[in-house]
Amino acid sequence: MSKAQTSAVIFGVGPRQGLGAELCHRAAARGLHVFVNGRTAEKINAVAADIEKAGGSASALLADMTNEQAVGAALEEIEKDGRPLELAIYNAGNNRPEKFLDVTAEVFEDMWKVICFGGFLAAQAIVPLMLKQSDSAPRQSLLFTGASGSLRGKAGFSAFAAGKGALRMMVQSLAREFNPQGIHVGHVIIDGAINGDKVRSLWAEYLDSKGEDGALEIGAIADAFFMMHDQHRSAWTQELDLRPFKEEF
């Protein structure tokens, strides 16, 4: 075991220049052992290796968050590690613009599973562990990544909005139930394009059209997540919305 005394798990980690990977690096820089979760072994192994190379502590945690058995096995691995879980962030999700009449039942269900059902499975596994370890961790946060679709259903994003809206309602319910038990449950709405590898690889021209600081920087988003994690329990934020200064809303 490394010198890290507590741990964090980040669900939904992709390329290095992405929000999930940035959250992992931030957690490691604060001295936490980081469990790097994703569905692509190559990507999460690379993130974990980068953290170790920089002097941090991390391990890859390959698991499909829409599979109940896989989620259970992942949490068993976290508990077996022995370091109390201080922070869990559910960042898994996907998005694709599509006209409503072109959305298939399979696409709708798959998107809901990744965005909402996976968050449900993660929370059901994480909360009991955090309650069990409540006397061992200095603080405990369970945070979820939201989007503008959490608040409104934009034309062409019916499946995405259905998943994100449902996730938001579930997170509110969790906060009302578990905040009084010492777990800070929060929701971070990201309203705008993220300047990372995923968006740039798919919509580079759109990203460039946003101009300077017209897209959210992954480092700035990570700052907001850890600001919430650091809050004193007398003044917890349940929901925070982030957007570029010139984003219309």
Domains recognised in the chain with CATH numbers: 7-94+118-147+172-242 (3.40.50.720)
pLDDT digits (tens, 9 = 90+) for 187-219: 999 998 898 878 777 778 888 888 889 899 999
Q: Which residues contact 171 (CB under 8 A, 6 or more apart)?
A: 119, 144, 146, 185, 186, 187
Contacts of 216 (CB under 8 A, 6+ apart): 190, 192, 193, 194, 195, 242, 243, 244
Angle at 144 between CA 68 and CA 151, to 5 degrees: 115
Q: How does pLDDT run across 90-148, given as a tens digit for each residue?
A: 999 888 889 999 999 999 999 999 999 999 999 999 999 999 999 999 999 999 999 99
Average pLDDT, the chain: 94
Average pLDDT over every residue of 32-41: 96
Report CA 240 to chain centroid distance, whole Å. Answer: 14
Query: For position 1, what pLDDT does the model report?
Result: 46
